[in-house]
Amino acid sequence: MLNHFQFKLYRHDFQIKFSRCRLMMSHLLKRYASRKYLERRNIENSKLSDAALLALMCLK
């Protein structure tokens, strides 16, 4: 099990990587995703944005 300082460092590193990846994914979605995908129904009911979901899948 990681001690507190190692876990805090790992979490901070993940947050930095996630924010960079999310920005990149949002840019790619705006540029290359079709209008039909971006304007789909009930998108306001989702808890995660499409860019955040893609970033999590890439960092997995």
> With contact defined as beta carbons under 8 Å apart, do 18 and 59 qualify?
yes
Residue 10, H or E segment: helix 4-32
pLDDT at 1 over 60: no
Please give the pLDDT value at position 20.
Answer: 96
Neighbours of 28 (CB within 10 A): 12
pTM of the model: 0.74
Supply the pLDDT for residue 11: 81
Tens-place pLDDT, residues 3-58: 666 667 778 888 999 999 999 999 999 999 999 988 889 888 889 999 999 999 99
Give pLDDT, residue 44.
Answer: 84
